[in-house]
Amino acid sequence: MYEAGDSAAQVLLGREEIFDAILGLDAETMRQLILGFQETGGTDLVVADVLIPVLRRVGDMWASGQLSVLHEHHASRIIRSVAAEFRRPAAQVPVRLSVVMSCPPGELHDLPSHLFSLMLLERGLTPVVLGADTSWKATAAAVRSCSAKACVLSGMKPAGLRHRSAVVKLLAQSAPVLVAGPLGERTSIPGVTPLSPDWRVAADQVLSAATPVTTPVGADVS
């Protein structure tokens, strides 16, 4: 089990223990390990350093035929369930700023968005996760209705974003649009910012986009 101050070796060991629990379809062990990491190491650590590498490994092994779809679905289901139990941060600001998160049409994997939303919660934001295969119309409506300060799109198919550049450009007029994962590769749409592959840096990027620094009227900026 991870203890605060332990080395990266302990994180690697934790990943292996969670992966072994996935292989054994041991939901309770997975739950205890994940909650233990979150309690002592924090949300950033458990998401960025533990769960995402484990999910990537499971996905790669499933794609190569080394794991069954049963293991992939089991891992996703348990992680979704456990993430709902995560300790929530105490409110740091009187009014939380909404960030809409969605996977565009044809993008079917929304678990990364749900996990990333936990990191945004830690930063005082209010993520509104629309989920997989969300229509552009629904995303735009959510941005407007929530008065969202930013919109995060995630997915695996960059061509889909480039082909709908006019729609995305229009969306960016309502709120800054940030794009996660391969979806943002070679993106050059005005108002759209690709997120860093480093999940902590990416979360900070979203926070900065949602809380831009404003210069008071009449201030000397020279």
Q: One digit per residue, pLDDT tens: the chain, 222 residues?
A: 555 445 788 889 999 999 999 999 999 999 999 999 988 889 999 999 999 999 999 989 988 999 888 998 999 999 999 988 886 665 554 557 999 999 999 999 899 999 999 999 999 999 999 999 999 999 999 999 999 999 999 999 888 888 888 999 999 999 999 999 998 887 788 889 999 999 999 999 999 999 976 545 555 544
- The CATH number of 97-210 is 3.40.50.280
The pLDDT, as a whole number, for residue 185 is 81
What is the three-class DSSP state of 219? coil
178 is written with which tokens? 């940030």
- Global pTM value: 0.87
Residue 73 is which amino acid?
H
The pLDDT, as a whole number, for residue 95 is 54
The pLDDT, as a whole number, for residue 161 is 85
Answer yes or no: are the C-beta atoms of 181 and 166 closer than 8 Å.
no
The pLDDT, as a whole number, for residue 187 is 78
Which long-range contacts link 20-29 to residues 24+ away (Cβ below 8 Å)?
22/54, 22/58, 22/71, 22/74, 22/75, 23/67, 23/71, 25/70, 25/71, 25/74, 27/74, 27/78
Query: Alpha-carbon distance 63 to 65, whole Å?
Result: 6
Give the list of residues 6+ apart from residue 103 with CB closer than 8 angstroms, or none: 109, 110, 113, 130, 131, 132, 133, 134, 153, 154, 155
DSSP string, 32-96: HHHHHHHHHH-HHIIIIIIIHHHHHHHHHHHHTTSS-HHHHHHHHHHHHHHHTTSPPPPP-SSSP
Query: Alpha-carbon distance 127 to 149, whole Å?
Result: 10
Dihedral Cα 150, 155, 156, 161, nearest 10 deg:
-60
The pLDDT, as a whole number, for residue 10 is 84
Query: Alpha-carbon distance 62 to 69, whole Å?
Result: 7
Residue 200 is inside which H or E element, if any?
Answer: helix 199-210
Q: Do domains 8-83 and 97-210 have the same CATH topology?
A: no
The pLDDT, as a whole number, for residue 160 is 80
61, HSE (Cβ side, Cα atoms, 13 Å)? 18
Taking the domains of the chain in order of start, what are their residue ranges?
8-83, 97-210
CATH superfamily ID and name for 8-83: Methionine synthase domain (1.10.1240.10)
Query: Alpha-carbon distance 103 to 106, whole Å?
Result: 8
